[in-house]
Structure 1
Amino acid sequence: MPGFSPVPLRETAETAAVAGAGGLPEWDLSDLYPAPDSPQLAADFQRAAEEAEAFAEAYQGRIAALSGVAFGQALVAYETLSERLQRIMSYAQLVHAASVSDPAVGRFYQDAQERATDISSRILFFTLEINRLEDVDLAAKLVDSVAARYRPWLEDLRLFKEHQLSDDQERLLHEKAVSGRNAWIRLFDETMADLRIPLDGGEPATLTEALDRLSDPEPAQRRAAGKAIGETLAERGRLFALVTNTLAKDKEIEDRWRNYAHPMASRNLSNLVEDEVVDALLSAVQDSYGRLSHRYYAIKAGWMGQGGRLDWWDRNAPLPDDDDRRFSWDEARDTVLSAYHAFSPDLAAIGRRFFDNAWIDAPARAGKAGGAFAHPTVPGAHPYLLLNYMGRTRDVMTLAHELGHGVHQVLAAGQGALMADTPLTLAETASVFGEMMTFRAMLDQATDPRQRRTMLAGKVEDMLNTVVRQVAFCQFEKRVHEARRGGEVEVGRLCDIWMQVQEESLGPALRFDNDYRFFWAYIPHFIHSPFYVYAYAFGDCLVNSLYDVYQRGEVSGFQDKYMDMLRAGGTLRHGALLAPFGLDAADPDFWKRGLTVLEGFIDELEEVA
């Protein structure tokens, strides 16, 4: 049964910005439900409860004895009920994301989680009983054509067979999530939404607004913002450390009971990617730190006139000759859709639907979730995008990224509620590809050498944030989870681990001080989805290789093959998806090819320097 954890946010705060909320679109969630207190939502809750009870009465304890036809019917009924519950929780999550600080919304979200968990716990037996089937018995049931349609979902489900607990233990963990892990996540989200950063002696800023100052053209503004953010996070350091320690311990306990070999094992399994493939990615990126981030930030320090060292608050600063161009919403929309259209008119047509309908919430508002995400909701509806748009070039890239997710989700919806979701490692493919298409289109239109340098530098920084930074985040998580197995990790130790990975990954050109020690605290992925972060690096390197194949014309009918890859949703794994393009993620050269694209951009910038 799909979980009801919050949607992971894209960590854009240090690389995103807002140009005023005027004229920016806001989403209309009535395609899901008219309102939190609507009769339609109440009726769906009631119907879901009745369907869950009927499903349990019909099938609990009987899965092994079902014929193939009856098993197919059970799968269809389970998918229908799953989609109904997903629709309810998608709505609750989106309402909450738009108004995280509203106590009434918080109560609605919590109540929805509790009711949905109660209902879903009634049918938890279904997947547990499927995993107790012998392979030969399951194969006999899949002779039925209806049941056979669900083969990819069943194969993925059975990967977790050896980690499955008893029915009572599974139900206990499932029901306690709302008062355990999910409650800590809610505490984190509401704390972050309520943070106010004192800037310039004026009205305190939200964290999103304060982080935007790290891209301000004025050095004094960047410095003041960075220090104010660090001080504000430090004031709540004990709370953030408690949340981090509690969730890490919670994960350790469950991992131990489920016999996972290491803290990343469950994430790798859910991502349908082998440990050795992830290890190859992480090793390739770490081995490239010197050629990528260390080299680039040394170049940038020279551009910024800081004598070979770059203050940490200037890491994402605009270059001195950056014109700090701002894009209106219409300009951003047209830029992204034009780039999509140049690649595939069909892809652009799907993307336009997000703008023609109220499927995007773009303004940065107090109390709104920070960062950005695309929520797939359910196949019977459509995705929604959340942004905090501030008009910079990087915000255009974020729009291109999230629209890629949205288009991917639309195309995969045909696989149904159980098989539309793509593993996180592949879920970033369309988003990063959308970014690359948009960047290439914008770069091709730039004729002024200074503008091209600025754009290349911006792209390099985005790629470093996506590849190097996310791998460093993964290393931080690994060290924290390992340390937690020896007891609670004191807040100062968390800060020490953070600084170690930052210094290793960003290099000697970066100059840090104590105000940066608490920046680990605001990263939502550590809380929402442990070890999610390497999926960004996986996706970026994968897309670099994929885009390189496209640019070189190595594969005929590339666009059609690409669209088919997106339509596959969660029915195929990375090996089968990449095979039509002649790529293999298990080959160490695959990751080197992806990193070479980034290195090439830095080479070009070094020549300019």
Structure 2
Amino acid sequence: MKQPLSLTWELDSIFPGGSSSTELESFLKNLEQDIAALQGLVKNAVAPTDVESTKALDEVIELLQSCSGRLVEVSSFADCLGAQNQMDKGAVRLAARVTSMRAGFEGISSQFSNVLRQTTDKVWAEWMARPEIAPLTFVLSESRDLAREKMSPELESLALELAVDGYHGWSGHYDTIVSSIKIPFEDEEGTKLLSAGQAFNKLDDPDPKVRQSMFHKWEEAWTEAADNCADTLNHLAGFRLKLYKGRGWEDILKDPLSINRMSQDTLNAMWDVITNSKPALVTYLQRKAKLLGLDALSWVDVEAPVGKSSGKIPYDQAAKDIVTQFRKFSPKMAEFAERAFDNNWIEVEDRPGKRPGGFCTSFPESKESRIFMTYSGTTSNVSTLAHELGHAYHSYLLDDQPVFNQNYAMNVAETASTFAEVIVSDAQVKAASNAEEKLALLETKIQNSVAFFMNIHARFLFETRFYEKRKEGLVNAEELSELMVEAQKEAFCGVLSEYHPHFWASKLHFYITDVPFYNFPYTVGYMFSTGLYRLALQEGASFADKYDSLLQDTGVMTLEDLVLKHLGVDLTKPDFWQGATDLIVADINEFLEMTEQLV
């Protein structure tokens, strides 16, 4: 792996010239022409009456996949441009254009789903048995079944068109709100204005004065933006609720569960096991408060470091460590990570104007990925980097699959990313040079459990209750903050001294329109990945191939069927989830033992 690594990514290999790229414009025009051609084909398509007439739809299926892959390509490019520079007006225009194209494409897809819906079961079985079509059976059947539960194709197409300036438009408006936020920060160099992303990184500063000061300024900034954020959140939820009502869907979780290809029974089994494990986390948080010299932790102390790690970790060192730790599990994963670093797929520079947070996005046409984050040298940053590389590795394993089969749900996406993160964090703990460093790294691992079991549980509780309240009318900023604190108190078992009322405003995930309920899939992924890691420890080197095979099937199975096929496990039962929790509780017990003499 080359050193030193670039702190900025390389996008010109995708489309040279950014948002004004002539190659991009040519690509977009060709895509628009193909979408128009696809619209004509689908408009004239009729449900096949025998296996021979299904062949007339081969061209439609092929073009649907081609357009879908290219839409992801340009959408990912627009996301990258907007994230690296929130003031890039060309990126904003590109994103709007792509959103409009996607709405048109989704409308066409909806119309084609109606053709699938009208196909008789007998012809369907013969159609899916054709060798050319058989690999797409799961995705096509899923589309057919879902079409039977939606509105008419005409109404679904209209809803998609209205979503461009309505539903998705409000999500874009939230990005504008975030880009305007500037938070003052004082250090030895004087006062500087930080973007939301830069300020967020200060919330887990080792210095309690820094993080407490920033937390209050953070709350003040989001209090000022609260009314605009409340408007945005209400309109996003209102659009969803109206759409669900039109489809006859009463359960707010029907859509996110369907998108994540999992059942309510599986979700309930997981949350039940988590709830039963929370006393161990409460004990950990109480011990942590004592270690920090506090009667109880405030919200901003939850992720504060205990003990001392080896200081700031240079980016090049973090990359080297991640590759080394990946190699212990899978040489294939390590080689892929080296490729990502060497080819400048990763943007980590700490500078103003960047979007907060981190993400990985795939380019199916180029068969590449790009990773975005702001790296400031913390162990948390290293975990984020490993996490996003896990996403990229997942996409890489699906590069040669049909485009339809590359679309996997968020919960299994978070499984791949969190598994990579667990590999790194576990290796860091085992390789610690002294007890103090080991304690710091072990505590970072446990912090992840708190995030997935408590923080994300709070988000899930908040969003569930918000949607129920939104059915009755608009929910103002003060009410949203009350719901947020109520959910945080329940999820954290009342163990904190101070909560984060405006978390609902500051958290991007509540405003993402690609996937509703952008919360519980994270916890599913964390628990699933931890359970997989437990099996990896038991089975040794042979598990790497099994892991790859499981990921390669993530686009063509429900979560329950995926796990049953590859692991022989029933996820609607508590056993697998309990096994994952046992590993987490073991970490907590080790932490408590190591700190017994320190309080």
TM-score over 0.5 for the alignment?
yes
- What is the CA distance between 1:270 and its match in structure 2? 0.9
CA distance in 1, matches of 2:537, 2:235: 47
Higher relative contact order (CA 8 A, sep 6+): 1
CA distance in 1, matches of 2:276, 2:487: 14
Query: Which residue of structure 1 lines up, in the alignment, with residue 247 of structure 2?
Result: 258
What is aligned with 2:43? 60
Deviates most, 331-340 or 54-63: 54-63
Alpha carbons of structure 1 residues 552 and 170: separation in structure 2 relative to 1, 3 Å: same
Q: 1:310 to 1:463 in 2, by over 3 A?
A: same
- 1:522 maps onto 2:506 in alignment: yes
CA contact (8 A) 2:139 2:404 kept: yes
Choose the corresponding residue for 2:322, options 320, 331, 336: 336
Check conservation: 2:65, 2:403, Cα contact below 8 A: yes
- Displacement of 1:267: 0.7
Q: Helix, strand or coil: the match of 1:418?
A: helix
Corresponding residue number in structure 1 for 2:301: 314
| 1:224 corresponds to 2:213 | yes
For the residues of structure 2 that align with 1:378 and 1:190, how far apart are their CA atoms?
28
**SS at 2:404 equivalent:** coil
Amino acid at match of 2:162: K
The answer as to 2:550 corresponding to 1:565 is yes
Q: Work out whether 1:186 is the aligned partner of 2:186.
A: no
Partner of residue 524 from structure 2, selected from 505, 516, 538: 538
Matches within 5 A, 1:98-497: 98-118=84-104, 121-122=107-108, 124-200=110-186, 202-292=191-281, 294-307=282-295, 309-319=296-306, 321-323=307-309, 325-497=311-483
Q: CA deviation at 1:465?
A: 0.8
The AA in structure 2 aligned to 1:54 is A
Q: Is the 8 A contact 2:412 2:554 kept in 1?
A: no
Aligned equivalents of 1:552 and 1:140: distance in 2? 43
Counterpart of 1:571, as a letter, is V
Q: Distance in 2 between matches of 1:212 and 1:53?
A: 45
User: Does the CA contact (< 8 Å) of 2:70 and 2:365 recur in 1?
Assistant: no
- Does the Cα contact within 8 Å between 2:554 and 2:562 map onto a contact in 1? no
* Preserved CA contact (<8 Å) 1:405 1:431: yes
Is the Cα–Cα contact under 8 Å of residues 32 and 381 in structure 1 kept in the other structure?
no
SS at match of 1:208: helix
CA distance in 1, matches of 2:121, 2:83: 42
Q: Return the offset for 1:379.
A: 4.7
Which sits farther off after the overlay, 151-160 or 542-551? Answer: 151-160
Q: 1:156 to 1:345 in 2, by over 3 A?
A: same
| Change over 3 Å in CA distance of 1:259–1:364 after alignment to 2 | farther
Specify the alignment match of 2:77 in structure 1: 91
Q: CA separation in 1, counterparts of 2:286 and 2:560? A: 37
Give per-residue Cα distances to partners, 1:279-314, cap 9 Å, x unaligned. Answer: 22223223333232x22210101101113x122222
- In structure 2, the residue matched to 1:45 is 28
Q: What amino acid does structure 1 have at the position aligned with 2:503?
A: F
Query: Aligned-pair RMSD on alpha carbons?
Result: 2.0
Aligned to 1:142, the other structure's residue is in SS state: helix
| Deviating more after overlay: 417-426 vs 46-55 | 46-55
Residue type of the alignment partner of 1:564: S
Distance (whole Å) between structure 1 residues aligned to residue 592 and residue 73 of structure 2: 50
Query: Deviation of residue 184 (structure 1)?
Result: 0.7
How many percent of aligned residue pairs carry the same amino acid?
25
Q: How many residues align?
A: 582
SS in 2 for 1:198: strand
CA distance in 1, matches of 2:592, 2:343: 44
CA contact (8 A) 1:132 1:161 kept: no
* Cα distance in 1 for residues equivalent to 2:542 and 2:365: 27
The answer for the alignment partner of 1:15 in structure 2 is none
The CA distance in 1 between the partners of 2:580 and 2:93, in whole Å, is 45
Report SS of the residue matched to 2:271. helix
Note if contact 1:477-1:530 (Cα within 8 Å) is conserved in structure 2: no
- CA shift for structure 1 position 76: 1.5
Between the aligned partners of 1:141 and 1:71, the Cα distance in structure 2 is 10
Equivalent pair of 1:297/1:506 in contact (CA under 8 Å): no
Deviation at 1:60, TM superposition (A): 2.2
Deviation at 1:172, TM superposition (A): 0.8
The DSSP-based 3-state class of the residue aligned with 1:467 is: helix
For residues 115-148 of structure 1, what are the alpha-carbon distances to aligned partners after superposition, in whole Å with 9 as ceiling and x for unaligned? Answer: 4434654554222322332322222222321122
Counterpart of 1:400, as a letter, is A
Q: Deviations over 1:195-251 (max 9, x none)?
A: 111223711212222222222222211111010000110011111111111111111
Q: Tell me the residue number matched to 1:3.
A: none
| Maintained 8 Å contact 1:474/1:533 | yes
Aligned equivalents of 1:461, 1:441: Cα separation in 2: 16
Which letter maps to 1:53?
Answer: A
| Post-superposition offset of 1:511 | 0.7
Instruction: Flag the 1:123–1:542 CA change in 2: closer, same or farther, 3 A.
Output: closer
Map 1:27-38; keep pairs closer than 5 Å: 27-35=9-17, 36-38=19-21
Alpha-carbon distance in structure 1 between the residues aligned to 2:109 and 2:437:
58
Quote how far apart the aligned CAs of 1:509 are. 3.3
Q: Which stretch of the first structure deviates more once superposed, 455-464 or 48-57?
A: 48-57
What SS does the aligned partner of 1:339 have? helix
Question: Match of 1:62, SS?
Answer: coil
Match in the other structure for 1:4: none
Summarize the Cα distance change of 1:193–1:365 in structure 2 as closer, same or farther, 3 Å threshold.
farther
Q: Tell me: CA distance 1:236–1:160, structure 2 relative to 1, closer, same or farther (3 Å).
A: same
CA drift of 1:561 comes to 0.8
Amino acid at match of 1:41: L
Q: Distance in 1 between matches of 2:134 and 2:57?
A: 10
- Cα displacement string for residues 351-399 of structure 1 (whole angstroms, at most 9, x for unaligned residues): 2110111211111332222111111221543111111111111111111
* 8 Å CA contact retained: 1:33, 1:40: yes
Which amino acid counterpart does residue 302 of structure 1 have in structure 2? Answer: K
Question: Structure 1 stretch 106-115 or stretch 542-551: which is displaced more?
Answer: 106-115
Q: Secondary structure at the match of 1:375?
A: strand
Of 126-135 and 469-478, more deviation after overlay is shown by: 126-135
Distance in 2 of aligned mates of 1:115 and 1:426: 27
Deviation at 1:107, TM superposition (A): 2.4
